[in-house]
């Protein structure tokens, strides 16, 4: 008689969405007004938000920040009394400030250093160029939050030159717990912190220079620092821009996207959104 040994195994599989904090860092420079780029970006962003809203099952599952940028970022005048705003660099009166800030002193221009009494960690107030204000992390499952995110997309307008560094760094700020933006939660195994960076041109101007290569060095350093802090980065190049810089900035090559026509943006954002919304298996 032949005896058969039956080997069995079992595992418990739990399906659920990994929590997500996402910063959309979106180029709002003058060139985005050409060839339908800003119009297509708005459509793609709305569709991405809808995909993520459908993927969220409860409050806290998905939060999104929107960071429009040109050579500066507009954080809004609600922060005007904060001690980490430096009005001395451009001699701006606090009550006349419109909410825009520029690069911090180096090396803090490429870091998420918490501002303190050290002047080099503060954010220089500067004049505004019409750039739309940022929207900090907002819960996409909340009805009003979803409306606010879409309204912010609609409010974007094109103006000014390009400084990718400041957009990227403020996307990073939006995902952390410390000032200047404090809506992020502590890192956790079940929480992804992600930046989606889109630009359509080379770096052309920052606080100190109009040398593209010099500004590229700052951008590359900001990318490296954010990734070292476990921030995942997708990059999207729209028609123009430094391919090598943006590809290297992405967490891995498959997270870099090249768009040769503005109407391709929707499919690219859809691909990224589906990737972010995918269900994970936890054993």
The 10s digit of each residue's pLDDT in 93-120 is 999 999 999 999 999 999 999 999 999 9
Instruction: Give the pLDDT band of residue 173 (cuts 50, 70, 90).
Output: very high
CATH number at residue 271: 3.40.50.410
Query: What is the residue-averaged pLDDT of the chain?
Result: 92
94: Cβ contacts below 8 Å, ≥ 6 apart: 80, 81, 85, 87
Q: What range defines the domain where residue 193 resides?
A: 14-80+132-277
16 confidence band (pLDDT: 50, 70, 90): low
pLDDT at residue 283 is higher than 70: no
Question: Per-residue pLDDT tens for 253-275?
Answer: 999 999 999 999 999 999 999 99
pLDDT above 90 for 7: no
- In the chain, how many domains are there? 1
Does 261 reside within a domain?
Answer: yes
Q: Is there a domain that residue 177 lies in? A: yes
pTM for the full predicted model:
0.92
Q: Is residue 85 part of a domain?
A: no
- Count the residues in the chain: 283
pLDDT above 90 as % of the chain: 89
What number is the average pLDDT over the span 165-186?
A: 97
Q: Are 277 and 52 in contact (CB under 8 A)?
A: yes
Among 14-28, 131-145, 229-243, name the one with the lowest average pLDDT. 14-28
Does a structural domain hold residue 209? yes
The reply to whether 111 falls in a domain is no
- Mean pLDDT within 86-93: 97
pLDDT band at 129 (very low <50, low <70, confident <90, very high): confident
Answer whether residue 165 is part of any domain: yes
In a domain, 196, yes or no: yes
- Percent of residues, the chain, with pLDDT higher than 70: 92
Query: In this structure, is the dihedral angle defined by the CA atoms of residues 160, 165, 170 and 175, taken in order, positive or negative?
Result: positive
Ordered DSSP codes for 181-196: ---PPPP-TTEEEEEE
Answer whether residue 20 shows pLDDT above 90: yes
Q: pLDDT value at position 250?
A: 98
Residue 15: the pLDDT is 39
Beta strands in 14-133 (DSSP E): 14-16, 19-27, 62-69, 73-74, 85-86, 100-101, 123-126
pLDDT of 4 over the 90 cut:
no
Give residue 278's pLDDT: 79
Binned at pLDDT 50, 70 and 90, residue 18 comes out as confident
Assess if residue 19 is contained within a domain.
Answer: yes
The SS3 assignment for 63 reads: strand
Per-residue pLDDT at 277:
87
Average pLDDT of the residues in 82-101: 97
């Amino acid at each position: 008689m032949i005896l058969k040994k039956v080997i069995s195994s079992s595992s418990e599989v739990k399906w659920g969405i990994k929590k997500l904090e996402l910063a959309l860092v979106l180029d709002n420079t003058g060139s985005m007004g050409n060839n339908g780029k800003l119009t297509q970006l708005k459509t793609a962003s709305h569709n991405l938000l809808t995909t993520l809203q459908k993927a969220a099952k409860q409050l806290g599952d998905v939060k999104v920040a929107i960071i429009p940028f040109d050579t500066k970022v507009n954080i809004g005048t609600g922060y005007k009394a904060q001690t980490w705003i430096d009005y001395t660099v451009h001699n701006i009166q606090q009550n006349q400030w419109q909410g825009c800030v520029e690069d911090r002193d180096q090396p803090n221009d490429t870091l998420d250093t918490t501002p303190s009494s050290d002047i080099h960690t503060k954010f220089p107030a500067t004049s505004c160029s019409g750039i739309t204000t940022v929207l900090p992390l907002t819960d996409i499952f909340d009805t009003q939050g979803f409306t606010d995110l879409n309204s912010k997309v609609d409010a974007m307008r094109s103006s000014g030159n390009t400084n990718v560094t400041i957009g990227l760094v403020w996307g990073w700020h939006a995902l952390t717990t410390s000032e200047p933006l404090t809506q992020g939660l502590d890192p956790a195994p079940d929480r992804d912190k992600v930046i989606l960076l889109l630009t359509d041109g080379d770096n052309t101007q920052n606080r100190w220079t109009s040398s593209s290569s010099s500004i590229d060095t700052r951008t590359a350093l900001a990318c490296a620092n954010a990734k070292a802090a476990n921030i995942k980065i997708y990059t999207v190049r729209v028609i123009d821009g430094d391919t090598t810089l943006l590809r290297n900035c992405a967490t891995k090559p498959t997270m870099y996207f090249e768009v040769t026509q503005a109407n391709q943006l929707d499919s690219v954002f859809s691909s990224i959104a589906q990737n972010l919304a995918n269900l994970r298996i936890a054993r």
